[in-house]
Amino acid sequence: MEYFLCMVLFGIGLFAAISKKNLVKIILGIAIMDYAVNMLFILIGYRHGADMPILAPGYTGPQMVDPLAQSIVLVTIVIGLSMMVLLASIAIRLHEKYGTFDITQLNKLKG
């Protein structure tokens, strides 16, 4: 069920990124896709009834959650945030220069 929700969230973001003509909505769609992939990584690494992945000397406890998925998500959060900042700054510069966020009007402009 959780994996299906990740796919739905990714589909919503993909729909927004492909079908919308506003740069801000496209950027938000890309951000939604990024969050869906992060949630999928966390769900893949999660185990029901598992403990935190903190090892102590002589620890013989139950099964632990996979720490690799958590570290991958931390890296993708940083990369996704930097990508969103870059896309937002490009959108702001385009708005300052052309006065619109509509990509159909930006395609018509020459020069």
CATH number of domain containing 77: 1.10.287.3510
Residue 56 has what pLDDT?
A: 65
DSSP class of 49:
T
Residue 45 has what pLDDT?
A: 82
Instruction: Record the pTM.
Output: 0.82
* 23: containing domain: 2-108
The structural domain count of the chain equals 1
Q: How many CB atoms lie within 10 A of CB 40?
A: 19
**Contact of 1 with 43, CB cutoff 8 Å:** no
Angstrom distances, CA of residue 94 to CA of 1, 74, 80, 84, 91? 41, 30, 21, 15, 5
Percentage, residues of the chain above pLDDT 90:
55
- Residue range 4-48, pLDDT digits in tens: 999 999 999 999 999 999 999 999 999 999 999 999 998 888 777
Mean pLDDT calculated for residue range 66-87? 91
**Contact of 103 with 20, CB cutoff 8 Å:** no
Local confidence band at 74 (pLDDT 50, 70, 90 cut-offs): very high
